[in-house]
Amino acid sequence: MTESTQEARTRHSKIFPKRAMTPEELARQEALDEIFHQRCREIFERVRPELIDKYYGWYIAVEPDSGEYLIDKDNIEAHKKALAKYPNADHCVFCLNESGATGRI
């Protein structure tokens, strides 16, 4: 019986085999995503008290670079408004409620 020796292989994505991220790149991207989300959350927390009574249950799209936000009853429409106004910028969508969560668990 012979032992098989396995070499450490770079893991590839099934969809994009050549574009798999290294663990370091993945950790760096997750850290950048967390920083971005915190910037959006700060703006949301700042404006939520003044908007929650009038627009409870509505959705707010926050663009952190400008500090602006857009409100709509539908989360998809809030997302579309943000894309129309800031086509090359990222944004976050929150629900105007106690937690800011937009979905169900």
pLDDT tens digits, one per residue of 67-99: 999 999 999 999 999 999 999 989 999 999 887
For the chain, percent of residues with pLDDT exceeding 90: 62
105 located within any domain: no
| Structural domain of 78 | 22-95
52 located within any domain: yes
7 located within any domain: no
The count of structural domains within the chain is 1
Between residues 57 and 13, the one the model is more confident about: 57
Query: What pLDDT is recorded for position 8?
Result: 56
User: First and final CA of the chain: distance in angstroms?
Assistant: 51
Between residues 11 and 100, the one the model is more confident about: 100
13 located within any domain: no
64 located within any domain: yes
Using alpha carbons, select from 74, 83, 80 the residue that is nearest to residue 102: 74
Tokens at 57, concatenated: 């249950």
Using alpha carbons, select from 73, 97, 72, 96 the residue that is nearest to residue 85: 72
pTM over 0.85: no
17 located within any domain: no
Whether 29 shows a pLDDT value over 80: the answer reads yes
Query: What pLDDT is recorded for position 13?
Result: 60
Between residues 103 and 64, the one the model is more confident about: 64
Tokens at 75, concatenated: 């989360």
48 located within any domain: yes
Query: What pLDDT is recorded for position 98?
Result: 82
16 located within any domain: no
**Pairwise CA distance, residues 42 & 62, whole Å:** 10
